[in-house]
């Protein structure tokens, strides 16, 4: 599958949201459309990325976990999982999974960065395909705890509304005890900011990218079924162990993306 510059790609749209350089006009068109609905739209991506880095630091420094399986890794626009965790623990192993052709090209380049970073081309919404992948099995030891990430991914699943929870159930069942699961997801905050969430959802789903579902907190919590939540549970990405005191009030978009981390007993 080659790169099609006439179709927006989830990874390239995120890249555009993060002011990256690996995107096309069709991807920037999605960004501009969401910005018309919510001028602060790029905060969806920056909050997601900030959450990712804080989760990486937490797991690397607090849990004793040394292996990471990151589904839907995206483009290396900003600091990535392997950089964040290997700064703390250089021996940490990271396996990225994605099936975007632009991401695959960058993934091959990442492989040359160090011998503990690996890349798999597969569909993250097909757990069996990931869990039985020979590269995943070679570099992730499923007899030891691991960190499993679905960050900014499940809201792009286009299918039955209950399916993401079933996908996560299949993954969680396969994880060894003591593993950690991190998920971030577009949020309908069910308050005065709900209308902006639904406007952004409408633009995303009718854009050239064609996906972007905003779920409620309860719906996102259902994705962690069977896990013990790390305090503060599912909360705004901006509120999950923020770096330092908050001096500026949150804008409307920062209320529209949430995340959490759970531990498998």
- Please state whether 182 falls in left (phi above 0), alpha (psi between -120 and 50) or beta: beta
Give the range among 95-104, 108-117, 118-127, 175-184 with minimum mean pLDDT.
108-117
> What is the arithmetic mean of pLDDT over 93-102?
88
Place of tokens 């192993």: 93
Question: pLDDT band for position 162 (50/70/90)?
Answer: very high
> What is the arithmetic mean of pLDDT over 38-52?
96
Q: Could you report the per-residue pLDDT of 111-143, keeping only the tens digit for each? A: 666 889 998 999 999 999 999 999 999 999 999
Q: Could you report the per-residue pLDDT of 50-64, keeping only the tens digit for each? A: 999 999 999 999 999
93-107, 113-127, 226-240 — which one is most confidently predicted on average? Answer: 226-240
Question: pLDDT band for position 25 (50/70/90)?
Answer: very high
Q: How far is CA 47 from the centre of its chain?
A: 11
In this predicted structure, what is the pLDDT of residue 90?
95
Whether the per-residue pLDDT at 176 is higher than 60: the answer is yes
Whether the per-residue pLDDT at 1 is higher than 60: the answer is no
Whether the per-residue pLDDT at 3 is higher than 90: the answer is no
Whether the per-residue pLDDT at 94 is higher than 60: the answer is yes
The partner residues of 148 in beta bridges, in order of sequence, read 69, 181
In this predicted structure, what is the pLDDT of residue 169?
98
Q: Could you tell me which of 69, 57, 65, 88 has the C-alpha nearest to residue 140?
A: 69
Report percent pLDDT > 70 for the chain. Answer: 96
Q: What is the 3-state secondary structure (H, E, C) of the chain?
A: CCCCCCCCCHHHHHHHHCCCCCCCHHHHHHHHHHHHHCCCCCHHHHHHHHHHHHHHHHHHHHCCCCEEEEECCCCCCCCCHHHHHHHHCCCCEEEEEECCHHHHHHHHHHHCCCCCEEEEECCCCCHHHHHCCHHHHHHCCCCCCCEEEEECCHHHCCCCCCHHHHHHHHHHHHCCCCCEEEEEEEECCCCCCHHHHHHHHHHHHCCCCCCCCCECHHHHHHHHCCCEECCCCCEEHHHCCCCCCCCCCCCCHHHHEEEEEEECC
In this predicted structure, what is the pLDDT of residue 2?
63
Backbone dihedral angles phi then psi of residue 106, each to the nearest 5 degrees: -70, -35
> What is the arithmetic mean of pLDDT over 188-208?
97
∠ at Cα 149 (145, 152), nearest 5°? 170
In this predicted structure, what is the pLDDT of residue 74?
78
In this predicted structure, what is the pLDDT of residue 111?
66
In this predicted structure, what is the pLDDT of residue 6?
78
In this predicted structure, what is the pLDDT of residue 57?
97
Whether the per-residue pLDDT at 28 is higher than 80: the answer is yes
């Amino acid at each position: 599958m080659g790169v099609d510059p006439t179709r927006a790609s989830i990874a390239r749209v995120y890249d555009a949201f993060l002011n990256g350089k690996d995107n096309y006009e069709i991807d920037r068109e999605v960004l501009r459309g969401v910005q018309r609905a919510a001028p602060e739209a790029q905060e969806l991506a920056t909050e997601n990325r900030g959450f990712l880095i804080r989760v990486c630091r937490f797991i690397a420094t607090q849990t004793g976990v040394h292996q990471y399986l990151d589904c839907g890794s995206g483009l290396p626009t900003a600091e990535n999982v392997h950089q964040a965790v290997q700064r703390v623990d250089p021996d940490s192993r990271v396996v990225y999974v994605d099936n975007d052709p632009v991401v695959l090209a960058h993934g091959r380049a990442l492989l040359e960065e160090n011998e503990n970073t690996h890349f798999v081309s597969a569909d993250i919404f097909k757990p069996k395909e990931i869990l039985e992948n020979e590269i995943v099995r070679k570099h992730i030891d499923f007899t030891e705890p691991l960190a499993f990430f679905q960050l900014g991914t499940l809201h792009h699943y286009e299918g039955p509304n209950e399916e993401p929870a079933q996908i996560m159930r299949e993954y969680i069942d396969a994880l060894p005890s003591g593993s950690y699961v991190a998920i971030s997801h577009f949020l309908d905050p069910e308050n005065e900011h709900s209308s902006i969430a639904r406007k952004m959802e409408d633009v995303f789903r009718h854009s050239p990218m064609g996906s972007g579902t905003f779920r409620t907190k309860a719906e996102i919590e259902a994705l962690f079924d069977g896990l013990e939540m790390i305090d503060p549970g599912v909360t705004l990405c901006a509120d999950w162990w923020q770096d330092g005191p908050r001096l500026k009030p949150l804008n409307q978009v920062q209320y529209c993306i949430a995340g959490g981390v759970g531990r498998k007993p």
